[in-house]
Amino acid sequence: MGRRRGLMSEHFKEELAKELGFYDKVKQNGWGEITANEAGSMVKRAVQIAEESMARDKT
């Protein structure tokens, strides 16, 4: 079974990691080294960005 394709682009994930302050860890050790809390923070922020975008599109 192949790997499932991610929903977020690599660039978007990197930008989120930079914004949330753990990009250096990702850059040095890869995505496998982030904590569950950090991953959750990324998802939460991505949802916030999507909601903001949808709200702007409605106006």
Where do the structural domains in the chain lie, given as residue ranges?
A: 10-58
Distance (Å, rounded) from C-alpha 54 to C-alpha 50? 6
Residue 4 is predicted with a pLDDT of 61
The DSSP letter of residue 39 is: H
Nearest to 19 by CA among 2, 44, 36: 44
Instruction: Judge if pTM exceeds 0.95.
Output: no
Segment 29-50 shows an average pLDDT of: 96
Provide the pLDDT confidence category of residue 1 given band limits of 50, 70 and 90: very low
